[in-house]
Amino acid sequence: MKNRNMIFTVVLFALASLVPLPRVQAETPAQDGGYPGGNAVTSTDVAGPTLPLLTPNKSVFSYNLAPGANSGAISVPPNLPVLVMGVCTTFNYRGVGQATLLHIPANFIEWVGLESTAGAGITQGYSGAAGTHIVYLDYSHQVDIEVNSPDTIRVHNASSATRTGNVTLIW
């Protein structure tokens, strides 16, 4: 009896594996690219319609800052998610940090990101006040990106020696 049940179970699983599964298909958007309810196409699968892959915008700024110095103002594109990545390339003080920014024109810059090594942690906040810390770029947490104005950021060197590196914005 036990063998008969086992054979029956094996045959049942074999037959079940022959039953085709329904194919999942992407919903076809309206001519304007929107779905019902005002939703827009945001992604696609391999079988669905293709969306153009756009090249992101990118700006790279180098810095070579004396002790206590600030870089020039760096404009942040408004009302878009902007990835800011920075590095300090000074020997023995190297590091990296990054944050995603949101610039609300004439009001503030909002951010969330990850500080550089040696005590790395999540950084987050919002401010329009000059000098507000956003993210550290070096190992010793003395070089940082900070708010310059409600519309711009800058790199600040709080160390007692010159620091070099670069900052990249992608949006």
Q: What averages of pLDDT result for each successive group of 10 residues across the chain (171 residues)?
A: 60 58 52 53 56 86 98 98 98 97 98 92 97 97 98 98 98 96
Let me know if residue 18 belongs to a domain. Answer: yes
The verdict on 67 and 33 lying in the same domain is: no
Q: Which residue type, as a one-letter code, is found at position 56?
A: P
Name the token pair of 154.
């800058």
Residue 161 lies inside a defined structural domain of this protein: yes
Q: How many CB atoms lie within 10 A of CB 99?
A: 24
pTM value?
0.70
Query: Phi/psi at 7 (nearest 5 deg)?
Result: -65, -45
Distance CA 170, CA 157 (A): 23
54 part of a folded domain: no
- The pLDDT value given to residue 53: 73
Extended beta strands in the chain, E state: 58-65, 74-75, 82-88, 95-104, 108-114, 122-127, 133-136, 143-149, 152-157, 163-170
Note down the domain range covering 84. 59-170
Instruction: Tell me how far apart the alpha carbons of residues 127 and 148 are, in angstroms, rounded to a whole number.
Output: 10
